[in-house]
Structure 1
């Protein structure tokens, strides 16, 4: 796989009350890569995501971003280095408009007239230009998700961490979200944690599968979908539940 390694974990793990939530994970994310993290509930993927973003402090192992250790840094320090986060529940300034929320993100990397150009471009990409003056407190769920993805687009982090960006969306909304994420990957390496396998099928250029705190498989969606261990751990459970 081409591209410089931008984010790396070696032997990364965390324990809670003597239980290993994440065991000893090795992980490489390359420049421009779109990586999906999947696994059944309790597999450790969300905990691993929180280790990368500084929301949890590792019990063991190392995390490096462009060769710099992230182990002892707070989430805001990690964000300043160039790692953007979109949480499962959108975190927006409710009393501000869509455009104002995007503008605040754009000002992290630009000033003056450039900011307006960024805001206009992002609003076009997320399809909310006609609602630019609408307060975020008045938005529907899918629109709120798109505004937060728009903030990622506007700030252009080196790495974007997206936690369940399609949660609670209709199929058509999910399709639009796929396109926005692909826009983000033009400027940022992206990690997506997601439960919706149809959504992963649409965007999963490379998929990492967690089970019981460990990585059990990596590859394209087609490759991991055929893996017997993966089907037993995750896909098989879903198929059984839907039978």
Structure 2
């Protein structure tokens, strides 16, 4: 396309190009060798560890509980941490100023470029679920849980949204890795993945605003034959809330950049 035709290109084309660029960026930062040789084995071993630990601590019943939650813990430390690469890439390349002068809002670009992370994260935990279940002796549970696999996909998206917000909050202060790790540890602690709800009330309150908590509650309720739809809606609202937080933070940084003549992301 010529420069004149680019300026007249519809927003849908621009958004599509942002998504395609996001995939290229994702593969450049996370090539298949890294995903298959590093990320996947770590997720499998982490899920197996938490599942077996649940059995050691509280018996077979809690081992099954830990298996369901262990997959969410794996998402917390992959999606949340890895998606910080999206805003950090613009920080390291000093290109945020170009984003804020474009047709698409920078938040839209960040979200479009982040799409590979929840999809890749979901694929990784599916493999982990299949590998860990027979090793840990929870194959029957895995089969019963299979119809609810889409809930893990939803949690993968909400975890990515939280990770993007965490990085955007502090990327201008050279602490994006710390913030992403803290967010991941908060999700691990407060999601109810290993520690059942009701044991520590303050964790229940904090967890209500973090990804994973409501999705896990929906899956456990479904396994017991109880209602689960409203918990699923709550999980989606948590993800939307974190995307909204990202939009607010980026908008504040754009306004500050206009006022001071420099970017927080630079």
TM-score category of the 2 structures, normalised to the smaller one? under 0.3
TM-score by length of 1: 0.24
Richer in helix (by share)? 2
TM-score by length of 2: 0.22
Higher-Rg structure is 2
Richer in strand (by share)? 1
